[in-house]
Amino acid sequence: MERKLAAILAADVVGYSSLMAADEAGTLSALKTHRADVFDPLIARHGGRVVKLMGDGVLVEFASIVNAVQAAIAIQMASAQSGNPIRLRIGINLGDVIIEGDDLYGDGVNVAARLEQMADAGGILISDDILRYSAGKVDGQFEELGERQFKNIAKPVRVWRWQGQTAGTGTGKPEKARQGEPLSLPDKPSVAVLPFDNMSGDPEQEYFADGVVEALTAALSRIKSFFVIARNSAFAYKGRPTNVRDIGRELGVGYVLEGSVQRAGGRVRITVQLIETETGAHIWAEKYDGSLDDIFDLQDSITEQVAGALQPSIRLAEIERVGRKRPQDLGAYDYTMRAFKHVWALEKDETAKGLRLLDEALSIEPDYPLALALAAWCHAQSSVYNWASDIAASKNEALWLAERAADISADDPLILTVLGTVHTFVRNYGAARVLLQRAVALDPNSAWAWSRLGWLATYADRPSEARENFERSLRLSPLDPMNFNNYVGLGSACQVAGDDNGAAEMFLRALDERPNAFWIHRNLSAALLGAGRIEEARRSRDVLLKAYPEMTVTRFKDAMVFSPAVLDRIGKQLLDLGIPEA
């Protein structure tokens, strides 16, 4: 038996099964092109020998450690610039290998394969021995990941990760997440459902893929033993390269669920995989095929699989509770999914678009509770943000729609949150508290329900409780585009507590995130005046009057739900700034 010391490079194609499921011929063509244009020439240029091909994987031997690392870096950089959809993960190890014909065996090969399996898309992991002999001799930086114990390998291996793709702008991570410290993991299974890829080739079907993610997120959120990141934070990664370790650190989750949806005619294919963020290990992957009539059964099946993978002790009876009432007509579902992004934009024109789509859904299925609840929220927004000419009428419409939704689906956390919010706006604080507490009991991961509890506490003159609830909402959904509204809430809590300067800073932070939320200037201008920042207050007042030329103190008081004492104090500040009383 012949042995030798060699640098072993193992590589495979990221998401190969999903790519093949979506487009077998196109994927094979792309793989051949990648090998001909990128992989094979660079391996040859650096003196490597392809030992064997294994479907979507390849094993390469190098006599030189430096050449092996240089080849890997060159391949990943060329792949990123090629425009080819094929992306590789690469592992490199130095080891004593057994030669048998043209093939190689042994722990040296096995460790390289384990490193490759741990690597990110477009990434490279190397063993400590590889780093020791290549340090200072290759144009690339590596960060230590610590020791890892691999299956069937006697001793732990110290692992290093190439930083080339994470330097500069290569990661595509959200800027705010890059600036923050990594979040610690909760003391329960934690998961983020990432945006699914739309593989249909039709941009108009994007909403369908988003709808599947929405349904899965909502279902998993209602399993009390899970910590589930809110949909809006997960959607911050839409259209970006996904590095699961970075996502795990940024969102504070142990797992991510990712996948793709392909819809053609009356058929749908959903491909899903669950990945552990610390190691990048694939926990399971599955492909689901069915007709559109089976879409909810497919979603239920995926939810059961995820629950089983994360926490086997969850009983089937608990999982069965996650189902939301299903519309009898899929058209109503389609219209409602189309409305989602407009409804949650919290902008006047966008809300109007969402309401038109929801009206279409309700014309098909008048008793579809989700559409009723979202329509109620649209009317509630119109009242509280001074968009409606008749604020009282908007509140009444919101209450009527929300109560209809809750009569049909009394255990849906989103529907209960909408109804609780509307009761807040009409000053039924007792009913609002019961409904919102019921919502978080059913779905403890509902960032929006915690936010609305924060607003309820603010309006009831309990600023400390309000701050706790807003901060909990921010933790559950740290990248949520709606978080500006939590900062408005924190500012309002400061305003209630008499801290006008602290309030102004929170309102300004909210405007940094959503500059066109001009309704914030109602509170900001008053807080700036109270803090003695006169010139800033006048500038804020001017922005307010430009956006709301008919704004009066009376209209402000009609829309807002603060206690009478707080309303009078803010109203006087607005009067002092020259806002007409009526």
- The answer to whether domain 175-320 has CATH 3.40.50.10610 is yes
Whole-number Cα distances in Å, 438 to 222, 414, 432, 518: 12, 11, 10, 32
Q: For the whole model, what pTM was predicted?
A: 0.61
How far is the C-alpha of 567 from the C-alpha of 553, rounded, in Å? 9
pLDDT tens column, 531-571: 999 999 999 999 999 999 999 999 999 999 999 999 999 99
Q: 499 and 458 in contact (C-beta within 8 Å)?
A: no
Confidence of residue 225 (pLDDT cuts 50, 70, 90): low
What mean pLDDT is predicted for residues 22-35?
Answer: 87
Report pLDDT for 321: 38
CATH number of 2-162: 3.30.70.1230
Say if CB 184 and CB 138 are below 8 A apart. no
CA atoms within 13 A on the CB side of 527: 25
Say whether pLDDT at 255 is over 70.
yes
**Percentage above 90 pLDDT, the chain:** 43
The residue with greater pLDDT, 287 or 74, is 74
Q: Compute φ and ψ for 24, nearest 5 degrees.
A: -65, -50
Q: Does domain 481-582 have CATH number 3.20.20.140?
A: no
Question: In a 3-state reduction of DSSP, which class is residue 59?
Answer: strand
More confident residue, 73 or 167: 73
The ranges assigned to domains in the chain are 2-162, 175-320, 481-582
Q: What is the pLDDT of residue 157?
A: 87
Residues 6+ apart with CB under 8 A from 185: 252, 253, 254
Q: Are 126 and 69 in contact (CB under 8 A)?
A: yes
Most confident of 157-166, 240-249, 393-402: 393-402
Burial class (CB in 10 A: 0-12, 13-18, 19+), 80: middle
Spatial distance between the Cα atoms of 445 and 490, rounded to a whole number of angstroms: 20
